[in-house]
Amino acid sequence: MAINLKPMDVAVVGLGAAGGVAVLPLCRAGLKVAGIEAGTWMDPHKDFKADEIHNNTRAMITTGNKIRREAPTIRNSPTGPARRGGPSPMMNAIGGTSIHYHAQSWRLKPWDFKTVTEVTKRYGKSYIPQGSTVEDWPISYDELEPYYDVAEIEVGVSGKAGNIKGKIDKEGNIFEGPRQREYPMPHLRTCDYLEHMKKAARSLGWNPFHSPAAINSVPYNGHGACGYHGYCDRGGCHLQAKNSTCFSTIPKAQATKNLTIFDRAQVTRIVVDANGKVSGVSYIFDGMEYFQPAKAVLVGSYTYENVRLLLLSKSKAYPNGLGNNKGQVGKHYFGHWDAQAGASASALFPMDLNIWYGAILSQGVVIDEWADDSFDHSGLGFIGGASMTVNTEKHPIAAASGSTWGQVPRNWGSDWKKWIHQNAGRTASAYIQTNSFPYETTFLDLDPEVKDPLGDPVIRVTTMTRENERRAAIYAQDKMEEWFKAAGAIMTAKGNPNGPNLSTHTYGGTRMGDNPDTSVVDKWGFSHEAPNLGMLGGSVFGTSGARNPTLTIQALAWRTAEHLAKNWKSITG
């Protein structure tokens, strides 16, 4: 039998990018919060190293034992066999994936929230991709703007505004939705390569700008500024200049004395009372089962695990899984058509770029001309597009192992060594992120065969290639190639975008909407069925945008938590 713990006001499942933000408004409102996390604290001095073997080759930061054993299976058709996927998307630690992410901190566009309405208005209904289940979000950009603002301030985001209350500034992103103020910190340092790429973009008539990042360009939040040493990717920041939630919002929540962290605690079920309300969570710590009673539960354990936890939490009130009486849990899932879906472009330059150091995408420059609805899609055969980022940070093993562009016959020996001696520092790649949408035949469910060590099924991902997204990604790759050539690249290469696999950018499964027949949570992030259950993370998104999801996840997490605190009696009563 489980050991019963002292009741708390709120149990937050997962202290990552989402839960690690939600705890702050709850604690500030005076609620007693149990933060339950499968991983534990990481030590910036011991764990975070400028070491490619540690971070990238062996993935020592990102792939713990728990997530290896819970990696979803994946299949490319709704009836085909599934194979075991890699563990890379998920992470167990206080701070979660915000420890190793690139810290890109974007606001989605107004268009992303109202895609169906806007596309229908401009091009007609026939432009909505066939088979897609895309809907307008139940909220607009303007409704989320105050929460973007608070997330940028509390997490700590650097950048340059392109639109403050309608006033356009060409140093920033001229295509962004109106902001109420400038970023809390200026954008990260530029460098020769980025200035070179900006000049090339301007020669094409495009408007380059520095990417927004949850990395300190100046001292902030009690931490120093970025050291630009170039080991952000899949590594934590030894300077704590990357605003992972374990260095930003979680310590602030701890300072209120209202947050109790239960680490190494693996939540296995959300428990429901006889009236169909959530009564707490069960978790396993050190081989023993515990029950944490709570008046409300917020689940922020990543898209795959959010859906798995609901589907596993069956009860009399919810025989098909928690909040799933209309069969919507796991539906409207989709992965982002980015590098993980094969969208890419790269270039070989005739000069040393010196982009070894830096801060991955966050020391980057972006073009938004070919994203969202920034351009006329009439007759193109797709909606959406992609943002394109060029950036710094190269690692030596990867640089030496890269393509030799057909210029030497073998990838070993003296000729090859001469080639990498000259060119390992002369190649660059771009990051392309395509607007992606949910479809009838992309979804998550429980795998009928593969189980984790506790005997619980893992998630099965059903995904496939999509003509709309493929066309948009190919269109963007061509634009990226044009940009590289304008910058003097002597050779360019493009990817073959054929669809998302397991990904660090996944969406839907507990979609947000006004209609309980097509969504799982309401406009505030609370279950249509269990009123004191809130969902946090990409699983509530209805569209992806053409940019990284984390800041939107954090703005929504803040909003859901604040809504709970402000409506405490009506939600938990």
Partner 1 sequence: MASITRRTVIATAATAAFVPVTAIRCAAQNPNQPRSLTPAQRRTTEMLADRIIPADELGPGALECGAANYIDIQMADYLAPQKDAWVAGLAALDAFAMETQGAAFADLSVEKRDAVLMALPQNLQAFFNMARTYTMQGTFGDPHYGGNINGKGWDIIRYPGPRPATSPDMQKMDHEAEPYRKSAWGNE
Looking at beta carbons only, is 357 or 524 nearer to partner 1? 357
Name the 3-class secondary structure at 409: coil
Residues that bind partner 1 (CB under 8 A): 49-54, 57-58, 189, 191-193, 196, 227-231, 238-239, 351-358, 392, 396-397, 399-401, 410-414, 417-418, 420-421, 424-425
Looking at beta carbons only, is 121 or 421 nearer to partner 1? 421
Please report, as a single letter, which amino acid is at residue 192.
Answer: D
Looking at beta carbons only, is 83 or 417 nearer to partner 1? 417
- The answer to whether 250 and 23 are in contact (CB under 8 A) is yes
Please report, as a single letter, which amino acid is at residue 552.
Answer: T
Please measure the distance between the N-terminal and C-terminal CA atoms of the chain and give it in whole angstroms: 28
Looking at beta carbons only, is 187 or 238 nearer to partner 1? 238
Secondary element (H or E) of residue 73 = strand 73-75
**Whole-number Å distance between alpha carbons of 388 and 551:** 18
Beta bridge partners of 334: 507
**Whole-number Å distance between alpha carbons of 225 and 216:** 5
Name the 3-class secondary structure at 294: strand
Burial class (CB in 10 A: 0-12, 13-18, 19+), 485: middle
Residue 22 CB, shortest distance to partner 1, in Å, is 33
Looking at beta carbons only, is 193 or 507 nearer to partner 1? 193
Q: Would you give the DSSP letter of residue 551?
A: H
Beta bridge partners of 195: none
**Whole-number Å distance between alpha carbons of 569 and 522:** 18
Residue 480 CB, shortest distance to partner 1, in Å, is 20
Looking at beta carbons only, is 185 or 530 nearer to partner 1? 185
Secondary element (H or E) of residue 208 = none
Residue 424 CB, shortest distance to partner 1, in Å, is 4
Looking at beta carbons only, is 123 or 419 nearer to partner 1? 419
Looking at beta carbons only, is 46 or 316 nearer to partner 1? 46
Residue 551 CB, shortest distance to partner 1, in Å, is 26
Residue 83 CB, shortest distance to partner 1, in Å, is 20
Residue 401 CB, shortest distance to partner 1, in Å, is 6
DSSP for 47-66 reads T--S-HIIIIIS-TTT--HH
Residue 213 CB, shortest distance to partner 1, in Å, is 16
Residue 422 CB, shortest distance to partner 1, in Å, is 9
Please report, as a single letter, which amino acid is at residue 279.
Answer: S
- The answer to whether 559 and 144 are in contact (CB under 8 A) is yes
